[in-house]
Structures are given as C-alpha cells and as structure tokens.
Amino acid sequence: MNTGKRRIGVFICHCGGNISDYVDVARVAEAVAEEPGVVVSKNHMFTCSDSAQQEMIDDIREQKLDGLVIASCSPKLHMFTFRGMAERGGINQYQYVHVNLREQCSWAHTNDKTGATEKGIALVRAGIAKAALSTPLTALRVDTTPKVLVIGAGISGLRAALALSDMGLSVFVVENQKEAGGAVKNWGRMGPDNQLGRDIVRKLLDEVNTRENIMLYTDAEMVEKSGYIGDFKVTLRIGGNETVNLQVGAMIVATGFDPYEPKEGEFGYGLDGVVTLPQFRDAADGQEGPLEYNGKPVKNVVFIYCVGSRQKKSAACPAPNAYCSRYCCNAGTHMALCLEDRPGDLNQYHLYRDIRTYGHNETIYEEARNRGAVFMKYADDDAPTVEKTADGLVVKVKDQLLGGEEVEIPADLVILVTGMVPRKNETLMNLLKLPVSKDGFLNEIHIKLRPVETVIDGVFIAGSAQSPKTMAESVGSALAAVSKAGGLLMKGYVDLEPLVAKVNTDKCQWCDACLKACPYGAIERTSCDGKEVALVIQSLCKGEGACVPVCPYGAIDVEGYTDEQITAMIDACSREVVSA
C-alpha cells in the first residue's frame, strides 16, 4: 500500500453535540493524526457550516491535500455538501470519504462513551485507508430529454403537467382510469373555500386540452421502463392493447390515494345508516332541503373521527394505520358547515380524539361549534360503539369532557370520517422500484431537504401518493416536483455518479455470471482484442456491486469501492485502539 505520498485531511464534526456528547472527538482527531498520509486532523463544531467549509477549503489549498475524510452525520445528509466543498477547494470530489460517525456511532452507543470513541477511531481509520487509495473520477455527463412523464391525472398530476408546460417542457400524462381527474373529479363542495371539486378538475382539464405540449393518455398504464435519469424509455399500454414508446427525462408519480374502507362491523360499518364520509359526500352531493338518508329525514347525525387513522395494533387490527390522515378533521368539520347550511333542525355530534384543524382551518372548526355542532372527545383507548337497536342506531361514547360519562346518542345517520390509505399499484411499483415508508405511502429522500425526490434519480413524487394531503397541499407538492424536474431538465445535461463497475478485460473470461447477477441490465457482452468480455453500460450501472463477488476471475471492481480499498478499510478498522 503506497500511502506515503498521500496528503489526507481528516475533519471530525461535533455535530453540535450529537456526536461530541458521546464520542470524544478531540481524542479521535488526535488518535488518527499519525495515520499514514494524514497531514491535517481537526475538529469542527459543525463541519457543514459555511465557515467550517471555508476553513477546510483553506486547509485543502494550504496543505495541498489530495484526500479528504469527514466524519460527521449520515452521507444521506451531507455527502453532496462535502463533495461540493471538495471541488471548490480543488480536490476531485471522489477523493473525499464520508464517515458516518453519528447514525452509525454516537447515536448507536449513547450508553458507552469510551466504546463509542474507540469505534469512532476505528471508523475514521477505515475512512483514511479508503481515502489513501482513492483516485480522481469523472462524472458521466449525459444529455437530458426535455420531456416529463406524469403518472396519474388527478389534480396533482394535471396541475404538474400545466406547470411543466408553462416552463416549456413537453409532458405526457398517463392515467389508468378511463377518465382523467382522479378522486376530486366527482366531488362537490370542498373545504376550505367551498369550490366544487369537479369545477377545479374541469378547469384543469380544459387548460390541459389547450396545450400543445401536453399529451394525456387515459385508460393507460406504464408497462415497461428502462433508461436512467435524464433519459428514460417507457412503454405505455393504452386501452389494453395499443402501446406507445416514449422517451422522457424525468417522471412525476402522482398516483393519489385510496379512501380507507372500514372493515365490516368497524364502528357499525355495514349497518344501514352507517356510511363513510366520502360515501356520504357523494350521496349528499347536489341535495337540497332538509337532510335525508334513504328517503328518511335525518334528525341526529353522528360523525366519528379517526376511522382508519391513528390505529393501535390489536388482534382485530394486526396491521394498523398508525398515521394521522391529516385531511379528515378538516373535511369533517367542513361537512358540519355544509349540513348547517341546509334547512331543518339537525343535531350534529362529532366524536373525536383530537380535532386537528390546523392553521387557518381552525376557523372552520370554530364556526362549526358556533353554529351548533356538538363536539365530544373520546379517549384513545375507549372508542365509541355503534349498535342497531329496535329504535334505530345508537352511538355510545364516553365523553372525556364530561369526566368520561357515557352518553347514548340515537342516530339516524352515522358518518365515519375515514382517512386515506396508500393506493395499491403493484405493476407500477415493481417497474419503478420506489421505496415506501412505514405507513405504506411513497417515500421521499428527506422530508425537509429533498421532499419530492426519491432514491430513484429522476423520479419525483407528488400529492397524496406521498402522504395524506389536502387538495392545496397536493397541488403544492406537485408544483414542488415540477420545480425539481425543471431543475434537472432545464440545464440540458445531468452528471451521473462514476461509482460504477469496471471490468478488467485481461482477467475477464466472459462467463455471464455478472450479467445474470446485475438487476439493472447494465452488463453486455462485447469483444475486446478478439476475446469476449463483459462490458458495463455506465449510465445504467448503479455501482451496486452484485457483479463483483460472483466473478470467478476477480475481474470486476466497483470504482470508489475497490477490493483493495475495502480490504484496507477492514484492516484499518480492525486494528486495536490503544485506550487513552
């Protein structure tokens, strides 16, 4: 190992205390200062801060560093931050090594400071060993196609399409239903501003139809997808048989949600007179005059909130929806106003756990109360029951605001305020390989830093496919996805990670083991100097490395993670740490 000539800088982050409260960062810096090749070893309160970055850049320049190790948080958070800094300082960004000293060390060992410090030293040593063998790499620059595929023609998808079109990008919208418009297309009066859902959709569709650069495919689905960020190739099947091949630079997934469908018997669901809010909204749409249900006048209506949301695990509910569905309190209280607007002497009872009419929606809740809707809080672990008696439906609830006293409400109608659940769409998910979060909704990379981006580069998510959202929030996130897709495509090119597999053609004997192992179809057979060898298509390779261990000839390495580097890292981190 020739590390004598390297000039490596090591910077250990306190992360405010996230790391330094458990790892003796000064000791780590000291312990690694004498590692081969290390010429700078320092601590910073926040390595990510601009000032610390500037100081590190100064060190890179003054010390003529050719390798950089920063031990801080997860690379998910700051790898790109430091790569950018390395480039600004004048080192190739791939000669920078990120050591995760927070998630993988300090946070994991809060009960053992000595041990955490020793592990920290070992991890940083491994990082140094890797940096010492790093080589400059060049990103693969590929041209991008200025076209976007929007999957789902609900309000999010349609609005995204218009915004992309505004920005001069061509758009294909694919909708698997026969009619575009998504969930909202059939809805009537909506909160908070009493617009009709169908009007909103109609306006969007009318506008979409005027745009030359938007192509809308209904009754269509994506059946094939290949390519990579900036240059995807997709095949759509339309109407069951016709297919269309498209080339796009990015995709926005706006596939929406499904309303929660209560189980038989859940809060009386299945009994006559027990309906979900979406069902009721459809049934009541367009009705005027005093409220009726199945032709009978309704005097008492009971709303039960949190149906299908904030569920606890139990025998009856083995896979609970632990999340809050966000929109339902707003929808329920808005419905209260819609009902109050109707003539007749209606009694409304709203049984809730917490009313989550956040922000400006609070005014709707307040108005509902002021206009006579009665709100009763039930305990998390003591839900109301709905029973059918000879006299009709009876709802029993222990009202927390009356000291837990049980109240019986004879109800003509029970409305279950149901939440949203992730939409089932297996074909699409299999094609896109998008990860979902614990709650089953599509997962972003980071809810604050990269909220509409996914781990599949070039594929963005929008609307309630990501998590329950109101209409305005769905549209907002759709436009956010548009801005990120625009950021990707308006430049005209994209730089791809060069951390990809490379074949040593001298060693390769072409046995196709690598081709079989690669899940991305990034290996092809080719001939080189008259012999058959494997070829890596760099733009498709994700650097996953499945090909490396299966190669019987040891002919494949992944750039940035070479066998030599990994071995050196293992050696470095398995050396004993001398206790202070």
Partner 1 sequence: MSDKNNLDYDVMVVGAGTAGMEASLSLGDMGYKVLLVEKQPSIGGRTILLSKVFPTLDCASCISTPKMASSAHHPNITLMTYSEVDGITKNADGSFHVNLHKKPTYVDQVTCTGCGQCATACTVPLPDEYNYNMIARRAAHIPFPQAVPKKAVISRGGQAPCMHTCPAGVKPSGFVSLVRAGKYEEGFKLHLADAPLVGSLSRACYAPCEGECTRDEMEGSVNIRAIKRFMVDWYYERHPEPDYGPVENQLDTKVAVIGSGPGGLTAAFHLAKQGHQVTVFEAEAHAGGMLRHGMPAYRMPNELLDRDIKNITALGVEIRTNTRVESIASLKEQGFDAVFTGVGNQNPRIIPITGNNLADVTDCMKFLKETNVGDELPDIEGKDFVVLGGGNVAFDVARAAVRMGTKSVSIVCLEAKDKMPAHGFEVREAEEEGVRLYTGVSSKRIFKGDSGKSILEVLNVASIEFDDKGRTTGFTTAEGTEQQIPADVVVMAVGLSPSTLPFENELELNGNKTIKTDDQTLQTSDPMVFAGGDAVLGPSIICEAMGQGRKAAFYIDRFLKKEPLDVPFDSDLEVADKKAIVACSGKCSCIKPTAIREHEPKKRIQSFEPYEETMTEDEARASANRCLGCGECSQCQECVNACPANCINFNMKTDRMEMTVGSVIVSTGYEILDPAGKELMGYGKYPNVISGPQMDRLLAPTRPYNGVLRPSDGKEPESIAIVLCNGSRDHTVCNPLCCRIGCMYSAKHAQLVMGALPLADVTIYYIDIRAFGKGYDEFYEQSKGMGVQYTKGKVARIEEIEGGNLRVHYEDMEGEGGIQTAEHDMVVLTVGFLPNLESLKLYKGGEVETDPFAYIREPDATAQPGRTNIAGLFAAGTVIGARDIPDTVLHACASSAQAAGYIEKLRKA
Give me the least distance between CB of 317 and partner 1, in Å please.
15
Measured from the CB atom, is 334 or 356 closer to partner 1? 356
Q: Which of 61, 141, 202, 203 binds partner 1 (CB under 8 A)?
A: 203
Q: Residue 231: which of 145, 299, 166, 151 has the closest Cα?
A: 145
194 binds partner 1 (CB under 8 A): no
Q: Residue 91: which of 57, 117, 118 has the closest Cα?
A: 57
Judged by CB under 8 A, the chain residues 301 through 320 that form the site for partner 1 are 309-310
Measured from the CB atom, is 128 or 480 closer to partner 1? 480
Q: How far apart are CA 564 and CA 333, in angstroms?
A: 63
Judged by CB under 8 A, the chain residues 241 through 260 that form the site for partner 1 are none
Among the listed ranges 89-97, 284-292, 339-347, 468-476, the one in contact with partner 1 (CB under 8 A) is 468-476
Measured from the CB atom, is 16 or 136 closer to partner 1? 16
Question: Which value, to the nearest 10 degrees, does the dihedral of the CA atoms of residues 102, 104, 107, 113 take?
Answer: -90
Measured from the CB atom, is 82 or 269 closer to partner 1? 82
88 binds partner 1 (CB under 8 A): yes
Number of residues that bind partner 1 (CB under 8 A): 88
108 binds partner 1 (CB under 8 A): no
Measured from the CB atom, is 178 or 438 closer to partner 1? 438
Judged by CB under 8 A, the chain residues 343 through 402 that form the site for partner 1 are 354-363, 366, 377, 379, 400-401
Judged by CB under 8 A, the chain residues 492 through 531 that form the site for partner 1 are none
Give me the least distance between CB of 175 and partner 1, in Å please.
18
Measured from the CB atom, is 354 or 532 closer to partner 1? 354
Q: Which of 105, 128, 324, 373 binds partner 1 (CB under 8 A)?
A: 324
Judged by CB under 8 A, the chain residues 21 through 80 that form the site for partner 1 are 45-46, 48-51, 53-54, 73, 77-78, 80
209 binds partner 1 (CB under 8 A): no
Three-class DSSP labels, 76-144? HHHHHHHHHHHHHHCCCHHHEEEEECHHHHHHHHCCCHHHHHHHHHHHHHHHHHHHHCCCCCCCEEEEC
Q: Draw the binding track, 425-464, toward partner 1 (x: CB under 8 A; -: no contact).
A: ------------xxx-x----xxxx-xx------------
Q: Which of 109, 147, 185, 326 binds partner 1 (CB under 8 A)?
A: 326
Q: How far apart are CA 73 and CA 77, in angstroms?
A: 7
491 binds partner 1 (CB under 8 A): yes
What is the number of other CB atoms lying within 10 angstroms of the CB of residue 384?
22
473 binds partner 1 (CB under 8 A): yes
Q: Residue 444: which of 579, 253, 275 has the closest Cα?
A: 253
Token pair in block for residue 25: 């960062």
490 binds partner 1 (CB under 8 A): yes
Question: Which value, to the nearest 10 degrees, does the dihedral of the CA atoms of residues 279, 280, 285, 291 take?
Answer: 160
Return the SS3 of 381.
coil
Q: Can you list the positions of beta strands (E) in 491-567? A: 493-496, 501-503, 523-528, 531-536, 556-558
Q: How far apart are CA 379 and CA 325, in angstroms?
A: 18
Give me the least distance between CB of 150 and partner 1, in Å please.
13
Beta pairing class for 347-352 and 300-307: parallel
Beta pairing class for 274-276 and 459-461: unpaired
Token pair in block for residue 296: 């009978």
Q: Residue 476: which of 249, 215, 151, 467 has the closest Cα?
A: 467
Q: Draw the binding track, 134-173, toward partner 1 (x: CB under 8 A; -: no contact).
A: ---------------------x---x---x--xxx-----
Q: Which of 83, 125, 484, 542 binds partner 1 (CB under 8 A)?
A: 484
Q: How far apart are CA 197 and CA 112, in angstroms?
A: 57
Measured from the CB atom, is 10 or 482 closer to partner 1? 482
For 70, phi and psi rounded to 5 degrees? -120, 125
Give me the least distance between CB of 309 and partner 1, in Å please.
8
